[in-house]
Structure 1
Amino acid sequence: MSTVAQAQPAADRRRWLRSTRLQDAALALAVIVPEAFFFGDPVAPGTTWRKQLELVALCVPEFLALLYRRRLPVPAFAVVWAVAVCADLLTITTDFQFTPYFGVLVALYTLARDGGRSTGLAALAGALVPAGLAVWYTFDQLAVPGYRTAALIAGIAFYLPVTAATWGVGVWGRAVAEAAERDRRELARARDAVRHERTQIARELHDIVANAVAVMVLQAEAARAAGPAALPPGADDALGRIEEVGRGAMGELRRLLRLLRTADATVEAGAGRRGLADLAALLEGVRQAGVTVDLEVRGTPAHLDDSVDLTAYRLVQEAVTNVTKHAGPGSRAVVRIDWSDVLSLEVVDDGAGRPRTGPGRALSTGHGLLGLAERVALFGGELTVGPYHDGFRVAATLPLSPTPDPVPPG
């Protein structure tokens, strides 16, 4: 017999043991059997078979009612209540002795939890009827003369708090269930809102950014197709780099659009799997733009979680891109990575390039450093940016692994 065939019966048994019907049947038996022996005398000396059959005849409908109490809480309470009242009346008027109340408490709890407020209050008032009959029976027929008042007080002190506490626990359970349902609805609405927002962002990225990049790449291809004779010296290489960067950007955009249109995916989960190991290609692209970039690494590189590694890469990417846009060609920058108890990153430029008068500012969205601050703060790190001598400095520290409970910025 295969392992799968052996595991199937075990899974079926576990599913059967976890079934709600079996749990309700076990609870009904756990209520009725002690109830029959605590409030009745089925095996007491002198008990006839007729009394035992009457006891069974009252217990069977109570068992069935408790079995279906989840699905039909109001009819279940009505049946259990009727059984208790009939048993009390028979006990008071005949020699039959059975004053059940445990089943009433279970049905009361279920109705207070699953029913409305008015229904629960009506059930509470109804439960006091069999309780009062049981107290009266004890006061009238069981109490020794001279101790009836004590028996009356004892009966009230037993039935009233137990009944009120059972009803209160049911009401509390209803409140908890309603709060959980409200939370589920709020979460569902929030997820729908996030899904709608992500879809809208994906649409805007496609319609604006992706189309603009595609047009840029196509125009570079068309200019190169005109032939080297129609281009100034060095323009062919520059257009080739534009095509290469544009195609890479289109690849990143395609991945980002897929992620944004996937309801439960996170952007960081598949954003190209970038990390510090990819810095060489990034810095080479910056060098081709006319900026001299040196990379200095101190310490022994440690393993980083993907999210931290991506954050470190994005930080260096944003910093050196800013050098290219704002300091301009001819500037010099240094990227320093220091591995110790934390990961320290620093990008410093000398500001000695040929600053762009208009395009540099036009190419900036104004949100790059804000995004860096949010990324670093998410992992409990620190970011420092500002002028440094004649240039600019971006420095950050990141933990070697994400903090257990990252605190979102702001």
Structure 2
Amino acid sequence: MTERGRFIRPLATRSIAVDVAWAALAAFVFLLPIDLALEQASLAAVLTASGAIALRRISPSASMFMMVVLGIVQVGGSERPSLVDLAMFVVIGTVAVVGTRTEVIVAGVLAFLAGVGATFYLAATGFRFLVLINGPRDQAFLALAAPVTALLGVWAGGLALRAFRSRDRESERRADAEAAASRAEAVATRAEATATRAIDVAESERIRVDIARDVHDVVGHSLAVIIAQADSVPFLDDEARIREVSATIASTARSSLVEVRQVLGQIDGSSTTTDPGSLDAIVQGIREAGVHVDHTVRGTPVILGPEPGTAARRVLQEMLTNALRHGAPGATVVVRETWRGADLVFEVENPVGDGSTGGSGRGTAGMESRLTALGGSFDAAVLDGVFTARARIPYDVQGGPVR
């Protein structure tokens, strides 16, 4: 908004027609034959003064220019003071209220110059005014200062009204700004509440996905071991061996049940550390299912924290389950466990089977998702009939090396 716009806006509700009507009324009054010891103004002076009144809000600069023209008309026509001179007070006061800063300054200068000019004009042409300025000193001073004082007084009054209106508008703007800030704060609060609910929903969904993934890994691994051992029972003729296999099946089922309960209870082993011995137990469970496992460990095993420890157990379970389900029967499964300074790497290799037990791919996707969340990685490929899976699990050391 321009500077003028800031001051015209409060007055903009007054239409041009209203200002023109006031100008017409002023012209009518100026032309009335009223005996106020003042001379009748000329038609040119009346039209100029009325035009200035009509334009005082629309174009303060043009209105002040017409006041200069009015002075020229009166001096050029040797006119005496009349009612049209009131237009000068109306224009000066209005410009002080609604004009731009530059127009306000020009109005002040115009008020001073018009007052001084009126004093000299009256002193040169007016007998009554000449008598006043030739009287006592105080009377002369008041007479000389009256035109300037009157015009500057109207200008100062306009400035005061301008300041009051500006203060009121500033208060309104402040109130509007505070209301807008309150509305924005309310919107932000609602948005924050919505975002919080969305985060809660996302967190709940993430927990459900994690539970489903963990149940898949735990149950899938345990059932694969149990099925493999159960399938071998009909081929055993040694009662002691049958009892041993049955005990292993029961132990695996109980262990699986405990882990499932932990998962469903949101415990999932996340509050405890993981000893490397639990990883050996997973490999041993596959061996007891009748699979030959070539397990090698390189580096110095350490105790893992809750998240990497859980990831290590679940990933190793899923990798061995895949080898048990989809590998060639009777083939050796190679497990390489490498402990490095900041991560644990599992590599599992097994000859591929005939494809009759192809999986859904959910386990592989679950391992990749789990490790990506920890900053690790998972990849798998088949090369020359051998399925190779590699998992890298970053970790922070929770304890010293395992002795």
State the TM bucket, normalised to the shorter chain: 0.3 to 0.5
Larger gyration radius, structure 1 or structure 2: 2
| TM-score, with structure 2 as normaliser | 0.47
For CA contacts below 8 A with separation 6 or more, give which structure has more relative contact order: 2
| TM-score, with structure 1 as normaliser | 0.46
